[in-house]
Structure 1
């Protein structure tokens, strides 16, 4: 494959790490020293892509997307012999993520990617917080109900339970179901406000598909 990035691009990443985009690779969650060492190895054609778990081969990318005003990461769709997966490349902040995409978008266009920038519909904007609301409601509601039932439950002397069940039973009896109920309601309210915010002001999403 022809070299996609002739010059190395290094962006600030998460937790004082950096993101390196060079040659035919995108590598995130590495130190500056590792980035410089990787550049040297790529120049000598001795770089081993499997050395870093976060390495993405550009030839295996079939799409990427992110919300420039909200996301500090860009999600890349990767397809190889192991199947299809999605990997997030985390940047320092939203501005860095936007700067990175502006820098490499032309390179991806030359690879046949069709880039699209559009505002989400209210329904699409609500889908992500809606998923979180459903998960919290199911898990939080289930734990709250289970904890409520345990208040009057006593195990038989001959009953054998797993250690983690025993710990949960003891905690439930000690704190009761109310703290779980309050926590669940608070999390649901936060997610509901998040949903309303996204519905009233749907974000813009940038995506590119090969």
Structure 2
């Protein structure tokens, strides 16, 4: 294929117009859904308005590891389909809550993979562009102990490297070498190389 046959890359202005059109189309598709949903990297929440006279026993909600079905018994489901990824069943749940305008079905899904954005709640629903998601800032205090320790170590090592100082691993090696030298003063370590 000759270079002249290839379509030219869009200019920044054209790219902006294409992005705006795609965002508008995505917004229209999402607003037509009978529910609203939001997610963060670890979980997903869905809300759907329910008539005020409906009670929890009038709802038919089935959450499995890979699918979701929810609606009022005897009526077309609000949502029914296969999840794009699996969930943690023990941490996922639904509630029916009273609001100013009636009632609301709330469904919380805990993602099995805590490092993955979902393009939609169920695979038969319109997708969103996950590349355009801007994650909320997280704090070290939000992380579990093991992950937090790992991140703090990485941050420390990065700062040490930037200052030309040894990383935590290099520090440990030096400590071991110093102890060994102290225990064996008869050995010559002048040509020893750390690697």
TM-score (normalised: structure 1): 0.21
Determine which structure has the larger helix proportion and give its number.
Answer: 1
Compare relative contact order (CA 8 Å, sep 6+) and give the higher one, 1 or 2: 1
Q: Which is greater in Rg? A: 2
